[in-house]
Structure 1
């Protein structure tokens, strides 16, 4: 199959500058509605990748996301949310972006064009065969990402990817490719839109399912979340109250002592049995 970038295809809408705000938003919403269906079509690929991620994490390995621009930022967002949500180490899921941390806020010109820098950034974290590396690139052509995955393949490191172009160099390079074909963007080539949304949905699926597989959720509750603000302390209190059928005051006292929902519940049960 000949490779064509559908993410760069011409928008199905034209004369956008002549549209009202209402029409602009309705059309964007119409396009956005197609994204979950595109993700659903990629479910078999997402399942295969998530299963290997879960296996690697259970065996003591780490998960790396590596990308440039919007794709890189999305990986960093997902990685940064794992410790507070699931109580894991900041070193378990690591997001890397072309141009380094400064590129999170401000684009670094031509950073994504280096074929060697992605592997160098992974080496700075002592990446090994125990780990899994997921390259994120809507276009599927980003040298920074492709170069990193090619080197990982040579070193026997498991590779996955999240891209939105079928048959792209990145999809061909990754051992576990996830290809979510969302088609042309509302604004031609603006892959931060549908493609970015698709990538975010897939990242949510991978990390959440993997953390559940690691035992970081009990029932449907985030029992290992960090109690880092009043909202989360209140949520944790309600979890303890519900799980143990005790008063709010008792639950608060338990959390004050144990600083963790799972530990508070376990300690109470140990004391009462």
Structure 2
């Protein structure tokens, strides 16, 4: 019996065998019923996902990187999540990186055989100069993609933290990493089409890893994104509005604060709330993990937020 015959992601779903005769509404309802299972599969791995969030935040604090590695849909999801971090959290593009088997061309078309070479995955990790300051997250729904396995093996040799995200357990990937996240969503609506439930579950977890880590390093205040530099009119308006609401100042004062702080909203917030200049505000942020509440409390004895 072939290895694929034992994989949950390759098994046949008994609940969708008649989907081709269901009509458009029936197809949608069947798929929606199956997608409900995704949320519970992710919830079942909450503790492991939380650990991945903490490990990622810790690497970011040390100046390290989060590196996603995957092939096909898994690789594209990693690249997508990485590419959304700079516009969302004002991070440098090298802070969260997505590697995909076959390179950039594989983002829009299948590159035959690209995922079958463990040595290429290992070489790409080596070329990036991965160290113990970094965290490498291998993504493979099957849990056995050679490109991903080669990458995480090389990353571990170099002292990086490694996480595996698969939709099977046990898996080869789970055996190779420090932390195994297994999203057991069950057989796909269309057998083996892991861009469906497996892809949805993976996207949810990647959202949690980056968003959770960014929150932990102070990129947000409450549920607001505050670590950005207003480089266009939309962001300038947003920054002024947040200053008015959070620091209880008028618009003229908001404009004045942002100008004095080089447009840095976090600095402006601390400067106003802690009643300090921009340089001291930056120093307070640096000494308090980038957290506005902690920086203000360190100066005033109260968060004022």
State TM-score, norm by structure 1.
Answer: 0.90
Name the residue aligned to 1:151: 154
The structure 2 residue matched to 1:110, chosen from 108, 113, 116, is 113
Aligned partners of 1:66 and 1:250: how far apart in 2?
Answer: 46
236-245 vs 252-261, which deviates more?
Answer: 252-261
2:16 corresponds to 1:10 = no
Q: Deviations over 1:18-49 (max 9, x none)?
A: 22111111111111111111111011211222
212-221 vs 255-264, which deviates more?
Answer: 255-264
Q: Which runs of 5+ in 1 are unaligned?
A: none
2:203 corresponds to 1:203 = no
75-84 vs 158-167, which deviates more?
Answer: 75-84
CA contact (8 A) 2:53 2:212 kept: yes
Q: Which structure would you say has the larger RCO, counting Cα contacts within 8 Å and 6 or more residues apart? A: 1
Structure 1 residues 188 and 230, CA gap change in structure 2 (3 angstroms)? farther
The structure 2 residue matched to 1:242, chosen from 242, 245, 259, is 245
Aligned partners of 1:234 and 1:187: how far apart in 2?
Answer: 46
| Mapping for residues 66-215 of structure 1, pairs under 5 Å | 66-215=69-218
Name the residue aligned to 2:268: 264
2:223 corresponds to 1:220 = yes
CA contact (8 A) 1:216 1:223 kept: yes
Larger Rg: 2
**Equivalent position SS for 1:17:** helix
The structure 2 residue matched to 1:61, chosen from 59, 64, 85, is 64
CA RMSD in angstroms comes to 2.3
Q: Quote the offset at 1:200 in angstroms.
A: 0.8
Q: Which runs of 5+ in 2 are unaligned?
A: 278-299, 301-305
**Equivalent position SS for 2:228:** coil
CA contact (8 A) 1:83 1:226 kept: no
State TM-score, norm by structure 2.
Answer: 0.82
Q: How many residues are treated as equivalent by the alignment? A: 272
Aligned partners of 2:135 and 2:158: how far apart in 1?
Answer: 12
Q: Quote the offset at 1:152 in angstroms.
A: 2.1
